[in-house]
């Protein structure tokens, strides 16, 4: 079974969080899974971690539509942070709008982090693939 | 010497000779002369006998002197014509005939000089010569031929030009009868026949413009005039001229055709066209221009300038443009001008002014072309507003579709995922949990659909019925309904709106809008400050503006401004925020042709401005 140190789930929908967590625990061994209700909360935590120089998450599941700070606003701020580590960012959204897909592509070209666009519902196979790629 | 002259005794006789006669001796002195001679040369009452002719006449021509000398030699020289200025310095012409003067012994003792005043004859000869020349030249240049008919001899004579005009062969003999046959049958031939008949019978002259067909079959236009000749009241013949005016008529016709074409064109163009002289006075105006100015006849506008036609300021502006165009010689093209009519309607023109430049390169005036594009402008405006409405509706629709698809998809994605789990889950507790989640999700979906339905209803109710309502009455009704919440939050509501303010609204919408904004103010109050909500009224253009100010958390509009009224946008992380209230508010106020705006400052509060449209 693959092993992952730290995972962030940024989503305001409790059902999606439940689903991701349920699949994750069945396909990989995860040391820490952190939940955030919006982009701002996740960003604040990451900023703290950068200052503390603690281990940043290996994998972030990111929703687009969230209050206060949505997924795109989070991305904009996140790629500006001085992070050398290559973080795997999985956008998980119910949007199938080409505009959002293009936006994701654009972020891909702007950062050294991995950006992957996933449409909901997220399946076991998707998460197996994601975790396998970043297994420690 | 004189005394010895034998004729002296006949002096009395000579004096009376009817012809001007002088006897001159070999010393050129006048010995005898008739009174007529003295009279002709103005010597009456003067002592001219015994005076030398050189003394009397001043200078004489050498030829004349030689002539006299020849007589003294016994010769008979030919008569001479000499010019002689009389007292009033008019030129007079005399014919001198000199012959030798013999005495009884046949000795030449001088010369007898006879003179005749031929001034009239000379002048007539000169006049005839001039006339003949002029007639020939005018005839040549003007293609004018003349003819004459002598009745007594039944003889028709004409000049060469007539033959050329009729294009007859050299051996063709024109007479009064066959000349008529050259005139085109119908009007022309009838006219000339009648003219000749009338001249003959009623002594009338004629002058007509007629058509002929020449001997070679060419059609020509001619000007013919003539008159009968009378001698002692008796008709003796006819005289007349024929002028070939074909070129002239054709040119004239061509000019007329061109003018007609141009006139037709100018008058039927859907443009206002005029020509002005350098003083900006109108020389021409077409139908459209006249119609525009409300003038019936073109002659009523000719010679008028813009100061006669427009108000002073407009006319001055036009005159300045005219001067600019005429001085610079650069056309002013498609300039847009607007003019406000006395009735307040605005007309928009597209005007061009083109300088008219004469042959010598100087400006002689200008041509103006104007087009009333008010209708196009209005259409353009309507189109723009239509595009703006359409694009805003389209944007709204896309946004709506996007939101709908996103929300429905997120629910269906959850269903799919949860159902997937349920199928594989064996743990009873876990299965119950999933089932609860499914129930929850389903409830949310129903709610979402309900909300969407409400929004669709607002946007599709095309003929919403607005009513005039008293604002404070409606406000009080809302406050009564949310009384519990207000009390719980310890809120104070202050209405600065006076009781006589009425607004034009859909009553249900107003109720919903007020409820929404007031409850929002309570939801987003500062935790430790009692909310104060203040309402005031203002009037902007066609709108009655109700402002609702709170002292709540406030919002960074720089960051969230564009999303404030968006669907499913929440900003404070409150669990009961659905992000629908302001979206519906906005939709309702827009459905009433109003608008909504907000100002806010974090930590100070927010103000919502509701623009209620008074007109429609």
**Residues 406-435 (B) with a CB less than 8 A from some CB of A:** 406-407, 409-410, 413-414, 416-418, 420-421
Round to whole Å and give the CA distance between A6 and A1: 16
Give me the residue label for tokens 């010597």: B43
* Domain at B378-460, CATH from 1.10.4100, 2.30.29, 1.10.287, 1.20.1070: 1.10.287
Query: Over the stretch B394-447, which tens digit does the pLDDT of each residue have?
Result: 877 877 777 777 778 888 888 999 998 998 888 899 999 999 999 988 988 888
> What is the architecture, at CATH level 2, of domain B6-117?
2-Layer Sandwich (3.30)
Q: What is the pLDDT of residue B1?
A: 45
Which of B399, B401, B403, B410 to mutate against chain A (most A CBs within 10 Å)? B410
Which range of residues forms the domain containing residue A85? 2-134
Query: Over the stretch B17-46, which tens digit does the pLDDT of each residue have?
Result: 888 898 888 888 888 888 888 888 888 777
Nearest CB to A121 within list B402, B417, B572? B417
Query: Over the stretch A50-69, which tens digit does the pLDDT of each residue have?
Result: 999 888 999 999 998 887 78
CATH number, domain B270-372: 3.30.450.20
Q: Confidence class of residue B352 from pLDDT cuts 50, 70 and 90?
A: very high
- What integer best gives the mean pLDDT of chain B? 86
Round to whole Å and give the CA distance between B202 and B85: 48
Q: Say yes or no to pLDDT of B177 above 60.
A: yes
Q: Which string of DSSP letters, residue by residue, matches A32-82?
A: EEEEESSHHHHHHHHHHHHHHTPPPPSEEEE-S--SSS-HHHHHHHHTTS-
Q: What is the pLDDT of residue B569?
A: 63
B569 to chain A, closest Cα gap in Å? 6
Beta bridge partners, B590, equal none
- Domain extent listing, chain B: 6-117, 125-250, 270-372, 378-460, 467-613
Query: What value does the mean pLDDT take over residues B109-117?
Result: 89
Give me the residue label for tokens 């006075």: B281
Look at A37 and B573 and tell me if their CB atoms are within 8 Å: yes
Q: What is the pLDDT of residue B11?
A: 76
Nearest CB to B402 within list A37, A67, A97? A97
> Tokens standing for B251?
């040119």
Q: Say yes or no to pLDDT of B463 above 70.
A: no
Q: What ipTM was assigned to the predicted interfaces of this complex?
A: 0.85
Q: Confidence class of residue B390 from pLDDT cuts 50, 70 and 90?
A: confident
Q: Confidence class of residue B385 from pLDDT cuts 50, 70 and 90?
A: confident
Count of domains observed in chain A: 1
> Please, what's the b/e burial string for B509-532 (b: 16 or more CB within 10 A of its CB; e: otherwise)?
bbbbbbbbbbbbbbbbbeeeeebb
Q: Is the pTM of this model over 0.80?
A: no
Query: Cβ distance B39 to B46 under 8 Å?
Result: no
Q: Confidence class of residue B572 from pLDDT cuts 50, 70 and 90?
A: low
Q: Which CATH superfamily hosts domain B125-250?
A: PAS domain (3.30.450.20)
Q: Is A98 on the interface with B (CB under 8 A)?
A: no
Q: Say yes or no to pLDDT of B2 above 50.
A: no
Q: What is the pLDDT of residue B568?
A: 62
Q: What is the pLDDT of residue B3?
A: 46
B270-372: same fold as B125-250?
A: yes
Query: Cβ distance B574 to B523 under 8 Å?
Result: yes
Q: What is the pLDDT of residue B558?
A: 80
Look at B421 and A19 and tell me if their CB atoms are within 8 Å: yes
* Domain B467-613 of CATH type 1.10.630.10: no
Question: What backbone torsions phi and psi does residue B314 show, to the nearest 5 degrees?
Answer: -65, -45
Query: Cβ distance A6 to A56 under 8 Å?
Result: yes
Q: Confidence class of residue A27 from pLDDT cuts 50, 70 and 90?
A: confident
User: Residue B319: is it exposed, middle or buried by C-beta count within 10 angstroms (0-12/13-18/19+)?
Assistant: middle
Q: How many CB pairs under 8 A join A and B?
A: 60
Query: Over the stretch B179-198, which tens digit does the pLDDT of each residue have?
Result: 899 999 999 999 999 999 99
Round to whole Å and give the CA distance between B441 and B444: 5
In chain B, which residues have their Cβ closer than 8 Å to the Cβ of A44?
none
Say which CATH number the domain at A16 has. 3.40.50.2300
Q: What is the pLDDT of residue B77?
A: 84
A107 to chain B, closest Cα gap in Å? 20
Which of B413, B418, B429, B566 to mutate against chain A (most A CBs within 10 Å)? B413
């Amino acid at each position: 079974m693959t092993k992952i140190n730290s995972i962030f789930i940024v989503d305001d929908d409790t059902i999606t969080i439940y689903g991701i967590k349920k699949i994750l625990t069945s396909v990989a061994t995860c040391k820490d899974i952190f939940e955030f209700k919006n982009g701002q909360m996740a960003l604040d935590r990451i900023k703290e971690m950068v200052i503390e120089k603690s281990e940043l998450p290996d994998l972030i599941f990111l929703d687009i539509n969230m209050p206060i700070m949505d997924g795109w606003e989070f991305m904009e701020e996140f790629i500006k942070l001085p992070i050398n580590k290559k973080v795997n960012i999985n956008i998980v959204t119910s949007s199938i709008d080409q505009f959002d897909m293009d936006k994701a592509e654009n972020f891909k070209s702007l950062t050294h982090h991995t950006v992957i666009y996933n449409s909901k519902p997220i399946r076991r196979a998707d998460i197996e693939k994601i975790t396998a790629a970043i297994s420690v | 010497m004189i005394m010895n002259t034998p004729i002296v005794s006949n002096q009395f006789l000579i004096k009376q000779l009817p012809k001007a006669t002088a006897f001159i001796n070999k010393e050129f002195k006048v010995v005898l002369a008739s009174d007529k001679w003295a009279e002709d040369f103005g010597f009456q009452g003067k002592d001219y006998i015994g005076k030398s002719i050189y003394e009397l006449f001043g200078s004489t021509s050498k030829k004349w002197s030689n002539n006299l000398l020849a007589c003294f030699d016994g010769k008979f020289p030919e008569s001479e014509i000499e010019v002689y200025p009389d007292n009033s310095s008019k030129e007079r012409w005399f014919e001198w005939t000199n012959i030798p003067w013999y005495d009884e012994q046949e000795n030449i003792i001088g010369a007898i000089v006879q003179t005749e005043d031929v001034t009239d004859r000379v002048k007539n000869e000169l006049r005839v010569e001039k006339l003949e020349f002029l007639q020939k030249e005018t005839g040549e240049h003007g293609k004018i031929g003349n003819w004459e008919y002598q009745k007594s001899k039944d003889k028709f004579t004409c000049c060469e030009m007539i033959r050329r005009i009729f294009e007859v062969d050299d051996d063709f003999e024109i007479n009064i009868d066959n000349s008529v046959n050259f005139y085109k049958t119908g009007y022309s031939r009838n006219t000339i026949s009648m003219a000749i008949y009338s001249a003959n019978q009623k002594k009338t002259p004629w002058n007509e413009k007629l058509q002929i067909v020449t001997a070679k079959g060419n059609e020509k236009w001619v000007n013919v005039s003539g008159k009968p000749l009378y001698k002692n009241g008796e008709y003796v013949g006819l005289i007349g001229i024929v002028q070939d005016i074909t070129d002239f008529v054709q040119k004239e016709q061509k000019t007329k055709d061109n003018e007609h074409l141009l006139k037709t064109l100018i008058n039927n163009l859907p443009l206002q066209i005029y020509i002005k002289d350098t003083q900006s006075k109108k020389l021409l105006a077409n139908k459209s221009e006249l119609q525009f100015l409300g003038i019936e006849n073109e002659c009523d506008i000719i010679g008028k300038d813009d100061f006669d036609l427009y108000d002073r300021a407009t006319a001055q502006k036009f005159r300045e443009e005219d001067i600019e165009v005429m001085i610079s010689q650069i056309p002013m093209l498609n300039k847009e001008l607007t003019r406000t009519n006395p009735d307040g309607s605005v007309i928009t023109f597209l005007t061009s002014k083109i300088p008219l430049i004469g042959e010598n390169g100087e400006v002689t005036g200008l041509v103006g072309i104007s087009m009333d594009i008010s209708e196009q402008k209005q259409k353009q405006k309507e189109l723009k507003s239509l595009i703006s409405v359409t694009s805003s509706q389209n944007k709204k629709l896309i946004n709506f579709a996007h939101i709908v698809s996103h929300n429905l998809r997120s629910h269906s994605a959850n269903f799919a995922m949860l159902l997937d789990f349920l199928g594989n889950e064996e743990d009873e507790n876990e299965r119950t949990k999933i089932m609860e989640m499914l129930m929850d999700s389903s409830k949310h979906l129903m709610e979402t659909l309900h909300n969407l339905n409400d929004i669709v209803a607002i946007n599709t109710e095309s003929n919403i019925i607005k009513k005039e309502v008293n604002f404070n009455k409606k406000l009080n009704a809302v406050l009564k309904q949310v009384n519990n919440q207000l009390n719980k939050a310890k809120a104070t509501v202050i209405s600065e709106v006076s009781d006589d303010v009425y607004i034009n609204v859909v009553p249900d919408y107003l109720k919903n809008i007020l409820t929404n904004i007031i409850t929002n103010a309570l939801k987003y109050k500062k935790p430790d400050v009692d909310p104060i909500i203040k309402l005031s009224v203002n009037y902007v253009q066609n709108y009655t503006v109700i402002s609702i100010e709170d002292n709540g958390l406030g919002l960074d509009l720089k960051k969230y401004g564009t999303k404030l009224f968006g669907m499913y946008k929440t900003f404070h992380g409150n669990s009961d925020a659905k992000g629908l209230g302001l979206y519906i508010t906005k939709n309702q106020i827009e459905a009433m042709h109003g608008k909504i705006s907000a100002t806010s400052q974090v930590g100070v509060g927010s103000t919502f401005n509701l623009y209620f449209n008074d007109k429609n």
